[in-house]
A and B are shown apart, each in its own frame.
Chain A
């Protein structure tokens, strides 16, 4: 049995109705999970003896700019046992965008969630240290949102005062 079949079967039997979508594009398996089932599903993927997704490679988000579910949070997780990279997606709405943190499952997600918060303004509930990571702490905008201009916003970054 191929790793992708094992994963899809297991998730389907454990989280039947919460699995919103399964896609396989260019050999990348991607599962879309409903927001409230993210933490149970992540725990299951990590703890299950046949799956063992021990490493969180990446957390990021996509801003679709329109629609009720404006953001998609994307997780890439890796299993050494299956030698497989799986993509988990969660669609979330925009009032205000928030999702449960997975740092207590994968410690490595810490900085990635901070980065996603910094760039998209998505709040990760129960994150131990949710601060901006690239932009200065007082910055008011979220640069990777589609409405933020590439040129930046004049005056948004305070410049050092000219010496007398």
Chain B
């Protein structure tokens, strides 16, 4: 029986509907309503669910509900070796897979005390920055689409596609890269990949200019973002916001500068900040960060040294496949590493990297065995979403969409 038939056969319901005919616009505006947005909503960037209390069209309260994409990665990590967890880091912030890979292996290397060759570190910097550009392009494109500029998403995804092709060349996959290994990276960056990267860098700058022209000459875009969702500096710090959202509120804090990992201390780059802290500032912030990443990439390609891409550390680092098949020692080491793990010393470390969304940190507790006793993922999207209820209070319903887009959460990371 279909639903319409039920309604038309129900006399009580029909009477109620008839009785409501004289409902007016004033009734709506004078009554508070509680409405539900998501989890299946195109503008919530995944499965974020919001419960809004609205007075007319003004939002008086908002409660985010998380957990629709909770896969229990922290529980799973406790039951697999350090090596096995690398593919799962792809699924955290799925727009910047390489950054997650790098962040995780850096944490494990800090815990186990593994030194990594300089070339491998430079390759990690290159893929991190490419990934950052790709993630910011998605952020800008979907943000503009959320507020009505649908062309933008085609333009940004066109540019991002070129970066995904580089990842395909390097890692053999466009999204599920799993490119890094404990002690290095899976494969060297070859001439073709270098040439592709150079081509992307040449094309991205004029493309960014075009995108700015498209959006910033559009009055609707500016009007919908300027002065909306202002996050003051003090609140951003108190709420623990990190990444572009913090810098768009005027705090010059970037882990690449504050606590340099890899070889970011050898690279010359600026940390763009904006004092306004509104949605428009967060848009500009991401555009400027793409330009800085282009600068970093150019320097990386110039400075990258020759050498090995994975450490020669038989007790901790997996040997190459050809060596396993031809040498006895390597076969034994491979067997031991895969079956019992790398066995880092007893202790706990916290290691953080600057991801496109903010600070991605791993807190690992080791009890000396091959599996982590505890692995906590500090995900930037999770803490950035905490600002949502403050930003949306007093805003219009349409502003809620703009604010979510400007905060740029990725639920794969927020829900873990």
- A interface, CB within 8 angstroms of B: 25-26, 28, 30, 54-58, 60, 62-63, 74, 76, 80, 83, 85, 87, 106-112, 119, 132-136, 143-144, 148, 150
Q: Which residue of B lies closest to A25 (CB)?
A: B347
Task: Report chain A residues within 8 Å CB of B258.
Answer: 83
The reply to whether B72 and A60 form a contact with Cβ atoms under 8 Å apart is no
Interface: B238 (CB within 8 A): yes
Q: Which residue of B lies closest to A87 (CB)?
A: B350
Task: Report chain A residues within 8 Å CB of B361.
Answer: 57-58, 76
The reply to whether B374 and A62 form a contact with Cβ atoms under 8 Å apart is yes
Task: Report chain A residues within 8 Å CB of B36.
Answer: none
Interface: B365 (CB within 8 A): yes
The reply to whether A144 and B350 form a contact with Cβ atoms under 8 Å apart is no
The reply to whether A110 and B259 form a contact with Cβ atoms under 8 Å apart is no
The reply to whether A58 and B378 form a contact with Cβ atoms under 8 Å apart is yes
Task: Report chain A residues within 8 Å CB of B365.
Answer: 62
Chain A nearest Cβ from B263, distance in angstroms:
18
- B interface, CB within 8 angstroms of A: 66-67, 70, 72, 74-76, 78-79, 110-111, 113, 237-242, 251, 253, 258-259, 347-350, 352, 359, 361, 363, 365, 373-374, 376, 378, 382-383, 385-386, 415-416
Name the prevailing secondary structure of the B interface residues: mixed
Picked from B242, B253, B347, B385, the residue with its CB within 8 Å of the CB of A80 is B253
Picked from B237, B240, B363, the residue with its CB within 8 Å of the CB of A74 is B363
The reply to whether A148 and B75 form a contact with Cβ atoms under 8 Å apart is yes
The reply to whether B349 and A143 form a contact with Cβ atoms under 8 Å apart is no
Q: Which residue of B lies closest to A56 (CB)?
A: B240
Picked from B242, B349, B359, the residue with its CB within 8 Å of the CB of A26 is B349
Q: How far is the CA of A55 from the CA of B78 in the complex (A)?
A: 28
* 3 A-B pairs closest in CB distance: A108-B240, A134-B67, A25-B347
Q: Contacts A57-B361, A62-B374, A83-B258: A111 and B67 contacting too (C-beta < 8 A)?
A: no
Chain B nearest Cβ from A43, distance in angstroms:
14
Task: Report chain B residues within 8 Å CB of A57.
Answer: 240, 242, 352, 359, 361, 378
Chain A nearest Cβ from B144, distance in angstroms:
28
Q: How far is the CA of A74 from the CA of B347 in the complex (A)?
A: 14
Task: Report chain A residues within 8 Å CB of B416.
Answer: 134
Task: Report chain A residues within 8 Å CB of B70.
Answer: 134-135
Task: Report chain B residues within 8 Å CB of A132.
Answer: 67
Q: Contacts A26-B110, A62-B365: A83 and B259 contacting too (C-beta < 8 A)?
A: yes
Q: How far is the CA of A108 from the CA of B240 in the complex (A)?
A: 5
Q: How far is the CA of A35 from the CA of B310 in the complex (A)?
A: 44
